[in-house]
Amino acid sequence: MATQFATFERLLEGFEPDFAFEPAARLPESEFAERIERMRREASVAGYDAVLVHADGLGGFATTNDFLRYACDWQREGVLLVPTDTDRELHLVSFLTESVILPPAGEPVGLEAIWQISPFGREYSGRRGDPVTKTAEQCAKLLRTFGYDDGVVGTIGDASSEKYWTALGQELPRVQVRSANGIMHRLQRVRSVAEQAQIRTAAQLADIGYQAACHVTRPGVTDHEIYAAFTFAQMARGGESGNGYQIGINQWGTHCGKPYGHTVRDGDLINMYISAVTYHGYSAQSARMMAVGAITAKQEETLETCTEAVRRAEALIRPGVKFSDLHHAAFSSYIERGYLDDDTTATMPYIWSALDDGSARRVPEQYVPDTDYERQGRRLNHVYPATFGPHNPNLGHGVGTSGNPKFNITSHNTERAEPGMVFVLHAQWLEPLSSGANIGDCYLVTDDGYENLTCHTPLATHRVLA
C-alpha cells in the first residue's frame, strides 16, 4: 500500500506548463472605492438612504455569494452598510458564525468600523441569543445613528438574506426595505481592466490544471489522481479552491461528475468541466474532452459537432453582436447533423428537462454495469442522464464572480456584446449510454473583437493512447 501511494505522488513528476504563467496583482483599493461610488450613485437615483449588502456563511468556510468580496474585499459572511450620503462611512457587521477565516488574506477595505456579532446559542456558548436577530439589531442601530430609521433602504443579497431583512423590518417598522440586486448586477456586467486581469489569471490556472490532467492521464490511473493533478497544479500557483470543477469518465461521454474511483481504460471518454477556477475571487470557465484509445464513430461525430459549434460562435464575437446570433451560429452545427430541429432555447431538449407538459420526468431504472463502483459495494441502477440533449438549453453565460446574476447566451437574448464582457461558450451533447461531449472556452470582448482567455489548451479532443 505504501508503494501504491508513493506512485500517486510521482504522477506529476516532470510536469511544467507549456506557457509562462503571469499572475495578476491584487485589485488596488481605488478599484473598491470606485465601486462604492457607483453604488452610491445608483442608490441616490433610486431614492435609497442606504444600501445593505449581505452574504451568508456556508459550510466549508464559503459564502452564499461574493457580493461582500466585490464591495469591500471581505471573504466572510456579514452585512455591509453603505450610506448614500458621502459624508458617512461604511460599516461591516460580521463574524456571524464560528466558521471564520481571519485575515490575511481578505482584510476589508474602505471601512469606518467592523462590528463583531457572536454566533450565540445555548449549546454552543451557553448564552441565549440569535445571530440573525443580533445582526438586525446592530444594522438598525447604525441606521438610527445615521438618521435613516424612517427612510428607504435598498438590499443586495440572495435567498439566505431574507431572514435578515425580515428581522430588520421588525426592528425598524418605519423603514421601507426594497430589493436593490439590480445594482450589483449592473456593476458587474462589464469588467474593468483590473478585473479582466484577474479573470485572465484564473483562465491560465484552468489551462495549467488541464495540462497537468493530460500529463497524468493514462490507462490504470484513477479519476481521483487526474482530479488531484489538476487541483495541485492550479492551486500551487495561486488558485483559491479545488472544488469548482467536475470530472466525468465512462465509455459514453457522460460528464458532470466527481471522482469516485473510476480507473481509466480503453474506450473511455473523459470530460473536465472546469466550472470555476478561482483567483482573488474571480473565476474562469472552460470544458475539455479526452478520448482514451478507440471510441465509436458516433462519439467522434458528437465531439466534432460540439467543437465546430464553439468555433462557429467564436468567429462572430465582437462588440455589437447579439448573443442570440452566437447561439444560432453554434447550434447550426447540431441542426446540420440532425441532432436538433432548431436552436430555440424554450423548446430545445436538454438532459435536465422535465416532460413537455412541465411535469416531472422519471429517471429510467436500469442496471448499468460499473466495475469500479461495484468494487466499492454499490450498484448503478438508473440511467443518467434521463434524456438526450445538451447539458443546458443555451450556449453559455457570463462568468467572473460567484453569486452574481449571469446573463445567458440564448436564442431569446437579443442584448449586444460590449467591450469588457466575459463569458463562456460551451457546446454540449449527451445521449444516454451512447455518446457525449462538453467543450468550451472563456472569452473577453475587446474593442475590436475578442480574446480567448483559455487559449493555452486546444479546443480539440486530447487523445490518450490505450
> What CATH number does the domain located at 29-187 have?
3.40.350.10
From 55-59, 234-238, 275-279, the region with the lowest mean pLDDT = 55-59
Average pLDDT, the chain: 94
DSSP state of 157: -
Provide mean pLDDT across the span 207-214.
Answer: 98
Contact 215, 232 (CB under 8 A): no
Secondary structure class of 57 (helix, strand, coil) = strand
Q: Cβ–Cβ contacts within 10 Å for residue 82, how many? A: 24
Domain boundary assignment for the chain: 29-187, 193-464
* Lookup: cell for 175: 423603514
At 166, which helix (H) or strand (E)? Answer: helix 162-171
The residues pairing with 53 across neighbouring beta strands, listed in sequence order, are 80, 156
Q: Cβ–Cβ contacts within 10 Å for residue 63, how many? A: 22
Counting residues of the chain whose pLDDT is more than 90, the rounded percentage is 88
Q: Which is it for the CA torsion 412, 415, 416, 418, positive or negative?
A: negative
DSSP state of 115: E
**Residue predicted with more confidence, 122 or 251:** 251
What's the pLDDT score for residue 98? 77
What are the respective helix, strand and coil percentages of the chain, to the nearest 5? 30, 25, 45
- Give the homologous superfamily in CATH for domain 193-464: Creatinase/methionine aminopeptidase superfamily (3.90.230.10)
What's the pLDDT score for residue 119? 85
Q: Cβ–Cβ contacts within 10 Å for residue 26, how many? A: 13
What's the pLDDT score for residue 7? 66
What's the pLDDT score for residue 101? 75
User: Is the pLDDT reported for residue 239 higher than 80?
Assistant: yes
DSSP state of 416: B
User: Is the pLDDT reported for residue 1 higher than 90?
Assistant: no
* 140 pLDDT tier (thresholds 50, 70, 90): very high
User: Is the pLDDT reported for residue 236 higher than 90?
Assistant: yes
Q: How far is CA 440 from CA 273, 313, 396, 426, in A?
A: 9, 11, 9, 4
Phi, psi for residue 263 in degrees, rounded to 5: -100, 125
The span from the CA of 11 to the CA of 6, in Å, is: 9
At 214, which helix (H) or strand (E)? Answer: helix 193-216
What's the pLDDT score for residue 103? 81
User: Is the pLDDT reported for residue 2 higher than 60?
Assistant: no
**Residue predicted with more confidence, 237 or 101:** 237
**Residue 98: how many CA atoms within 13 Å on its side-chain side?**
5
At 222, which helix (H) or strand (E)? Answer: none
Q: What is the dihedral angle through the alpha carbons of 98, 100, 103, 107, rounded to the nearest 10 degrees? A: -100
Residue 315 CB-density burial (10 A; 0-12 exposed, 13-18 middle, 19+ buried): exposed
User: Is the pLDDT reported for residue 298 higher than 80?
Assistant: yes
First-residue to last-residue Cα distance in the chain: 25
On the question of a common fold for 29-187 and 193-464, the answer reads: no
Provide mean pLDDT across the span 44-54.
Answer: 98
* 300 pLDDT tier (thresholds 50, 70, 90): very high
Q: Cβ–Cβ contacts within 10 Å for residue 238, how many? A: 16
Provide mean pLDDT across the span 35-64.
Answer: 95
From 83-92, 114-123, 161-170, 417-426, the region with the lowest mean pLDDT = 114-123
The span from the CA of 275 to the CA of 269, in Å, is: 18
User: Is the pLDDT reported for residue 263 higher than 90?
Assistant: yes
**Residue 41: how many CA atoms within 13 Å on its side-chain side?**
8
pLDDT in tens, 369-422: 999 999 999 999 999 999 999 999 999 999 998 777 789 999 999 999 999 999
